[in-house]
Amino acid sequence: EAQVTQNPRYLITVTGKKLTVTCSQNMNHEYMSWYRQDPGLGLRQIYYSMNVEVTDKGDVPEGYKVSRKEKRNFPLILESPSPNQTSLYFCASGQVGEKLFFGSGTQLSVL
Amino acid sequence: QKEVEQDPGPLSVPEGAIVSLNCTYSNSAFQYFMWYRQYSRKGPELLMYTYSSGNKEDGRFTAQVDKSSKYISLFIRDSQPSDSATYLCAMSDYKLSFGAGTTVTVRA
């Protein structure tokens, strides 16, 4: 089954404790992206990747890192999380300019 | 000014009504236009996809694009309670930009 898998689904952490949210897709897509979704603000892009070892900033990259060492995986790293990073996060993959397939989301709370 | 502006809602309609959702945009480079549906606490899923001006129908859903006015719409005919969700417009040149979403509730 074609899918984008994110883990974990829910995460509660404390300020400053490094964390990683994993994302994996099995559709051989070149394009992958991370979004955060906040009430009234919609989906905002954090980082995206056009292919292996090619990543670029989206609209709200501050406080986040990503890597794309393999085509299927695109982890999101928060080196020192802060409460303003409490949000619902989505990973997505697709072909450039075409539809995106989204993961089920990760609800992150930073205390 | 945001690149994509979406009517904020929320919308509440009786079952069987026509739902009309709208977005405007400012970037003339957008070539692809999409509507995503998102149920509560789930990832968005693609509903409609088009790259040209005009209408596209898929069952009860019609997507309308007017590039000259930089305006897109989604119409849902014979709305059902199962259509209750948040609808997101999205547009792309090489990068996808989303509207903030409109939450629709269809009352049985």
**Nearest chain A alpha carbon to B31:** A97
Residues B85-95, mean pLDDT to the nearest whole number:
89
pLDDT of residue B9: 87
Which residue of chain A comes nearest to B46, CA vs CA?
A99
- A66: Cβ contacts below 8 Å, ≥ 6 apart: A34, A46, A47, A49, A55, A74, A75, A76, A77
Confidence of residue A46 (pLDDT cuts 50, 70, 90): very high
Q: Report the residue from B49, B88, B95 with minimal CB separation from A99.
A: B49
Residue A78 DSSP code = E
- Distance, in Å, from the CA atom of B37 to the CA atom of A106, rounded to the nearest integer, reads 18
Minimum distance, in Å, between the CA of residue B15 and any CA atom of chain A:
26
Q: What is the average per-residue pLDDT within A62-69?
A: 97
A67 has pLDDT over 80 = yes
- What confidence tier does B45 reach under pLDDT thresholds 50, 70, 90? very high
Model pLDDT for residues A83-110, shown as the tens digit of each residue: 999 999 999 999 876 788 999 999 999 9
Mean local confidence (pLDDT), A16-31: 96
pLDDT at B76 over 70: yes
Q: Which of residues 69-88 of A touch B (CB under 8 A)?
A: 88
| Span B79-95, average pLDDT | 92
> What pLDDT does residue A97 have?
66
Q: Which of A18, A10, A29, A15 is nearest to A73 (CA)?
A: A29
Distance CA A12, CA B62 (A): 41
Cis peptide, bond prior to residue A8, ω within 30 of zero: yes
Query: Both tokens of residue A47?
Result: 């980082």
